[in-house]
């Protein structure tokens, strides 16, 4: 977003940009009250979401995908886990006491030795985050979320938290990768698919979410089409 804003200023120096609140739900709520903004969401918008917006001040909401964001499961570099399957991923983020298993320790997803009884510590975003909503809907199929060890205000800080927690784990976009965390390959049909750009661009890495911008079509004419 910042890169786009900087680029637009080269052609339209009269335009000013202000950053809104973090979190997809906060952005959706903000455009419902102020249809003049451009809102960003890191989760797909459903027809129900759009219908709900139409009942607010945002009369003609239009959501369109502007990018794809592959998500990686990050752990501390000391963690010996080689890969994780979709079922294991679900068991990590699904709360205990549901109809499917919950992985509370690293032994529950196959680690042995000193890691077997070590607790899995989830680092996450808050409930207003698109990342959290994506996990709730697409990773655990609407089931209750497992409790997080720490909640962070950005995906960057999720990775910073994992970098300082040997037992830590969390989901964030590829763009947050850094040498202090390790991205875990996905185990798909017996193959370990690395969580890297090459796998994503080759169409082999399936864990991808859309990044969406939302505007109110009814106010777009007020800026000469600049939106």
Q: How far apart are CA 95 and CA 144, in angstroms?
A: 6
Q: Which 3 state secondary structure label does DSSP give 148?
A: coil
For 88-127, the pLDDT digits (tens) are 999 999 999 878 899 999 999 999 999 999 999 999 998 8
Among residues 62, 25, 65, 28, the alpha carbon closest in space to that of 44 is found at 65
The single residue listed with the structure tokens 């777009």 is 220
CA gap 209, 24 in Å, rounded: 13
- Predicted TM-score (pTM) of this structure: 0.82
pLDDT at 41 over 80: yes
């Amino acid at each position: 977003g910042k890169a786009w804003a900087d680029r637009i200023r080269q052609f339209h120096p009269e335009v000013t940009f202000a950053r809104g609140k973090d979190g997809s739900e906060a952005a959706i709520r903000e455009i419902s009250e102020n249809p003049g903004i451009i809102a960003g969401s890191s989760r797909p918008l459903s027809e129900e979401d759009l219908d709900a917006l139409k009942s607010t001040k945002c009369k003609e909401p239009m959501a369109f995908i502007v990018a794809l964001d592959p998500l990686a499961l990050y752990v501390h570099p000391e963690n010996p886990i080689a890969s994780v399957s979709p079922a294991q991923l679900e068991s990590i983020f699904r709360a205990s006491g549901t109809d499917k298993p919950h992985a509370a320790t690293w032994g529950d997803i196959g680690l042995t030795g000193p890691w077997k009884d070590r607790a899995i510590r989830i680092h996450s975003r808050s409930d207003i985050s698109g990342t959290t909503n994506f996990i709730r809907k697409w990773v655990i199929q609407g089931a209750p979320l497992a409790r997080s060890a720490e909640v962070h205000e950005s995906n960057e800080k999720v990775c910073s938290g994992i970098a300082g927690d040997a037992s830590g784990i969390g989901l964030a976009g590829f763009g947050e990768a850094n040498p202090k965390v390790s991205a875990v390959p996905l185990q798909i049909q017996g193959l370990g698919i690395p969580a890297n750009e090459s796998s994503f661009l080759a169409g082999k890495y399936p864990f991808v979410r859309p990044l969406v911008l939302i505007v109110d079509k009814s106010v777009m004419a007020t800026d000469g089409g600049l939106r």
